[in-house]
Amino acid sequence: MRYSRDELMAAVSGQMPEKRWKHTLGVMETAVKLAERFGADPAKADLAAILHDVAKYWPVKDMEQVIRDNPELNQDLLNHDKQLWHSEVGALVARRDYGIEDPDILDAIRWHTSGRVGMSLLDKVVCLADYIEPGRDFPGVNNIRELAQHSLEKALIAGFDSTISFLLQQQRVIYPLTVLSRNDLIQHLIPTGGS
């Protein structure tokens, strides 16, 4: 790794307003706790959390350029809410500019907003930490925090449900991968898919 952890934190915090850095600190704390609770690697959870929003405040044009220049990123992102772009762009930036090579960490950054089918344990930890870090306050967040005491998957399904309900209420387009991620988690929770 090109940067020490402290250097990484300094570099990433310099790319965002104070409020977003505070959120990042919350995600770090929560991701480490969840990793310890559910058997993921806490050091990887910590690094992924530090970097998860690294591209969040990039100019839209710059994010768009990164997506267009890198065909391995999902080009369909360009047809969806720009708020979704920072995750895939962030994973690329983490590797290119910050020297993170660990595919587990890069995946957790890449999928932290949308989820994906077949989420890894680390993906789930970082995505859920983003929903429930101590600074979050949205309807239903305490229910998700309670579910997270016992089930990573049940809590994450509730998280995706809250995003999907919010978007439905606003009659906005839902990024299909989030629906697929949610369905995949439910299908693995109840393998028969039965009632």
Ligand X SMILES: Nc1ncnc2c1ncn2[C@@H]1O[C@H](COP(=O)(O)OP(=O)(O)O)[C@@H](O)[C@H]1O
Residue ranges in contact with ligand X by CB under 6 A = 81, 83-84, 113-114, 130, 163, 167, 174-175, 178
In angstroms, what is the minimal distance from the CB of 132 to ligand X? 12
Q: Which is nearer to ligand X, 6 or 137 (CB)?
A: 137
CA distance 93 to 66: 9
In angstroms, what is the minimal distance from the CB of 191 to ligand X? 25
- Asked if residue 5 lies in contact with residue 45, where contact means CB atoms within 8 angstroms, the answer is no
In angstroms, what is the minimal distance from the CB of 176 to ligand X? 8
Q: Which is nearer to ligand X, 67 or 84 (CB)?
A: 84
Q: Which is nearer to ligand X, 74 or 178 (CB)?
A: 178
The two tokens of residue 81 are: 């809410």
Contacts of 31 (CB under 8 A, 6+ apart): 45, 46, 48, 49, 125, 126, 129
Please list, residue by residue across 165-182, b when 16 or more beta carbons sit within 10 angstroms of its beta carbon and e when fewer do.
eeeeeeeeebbebbeebb
Q: Which is nearer to ligand X, 79 or 195 (CB)?
A: 79
In angstroms, what is the minimal distance from the CB of 84 to ligand X? 6
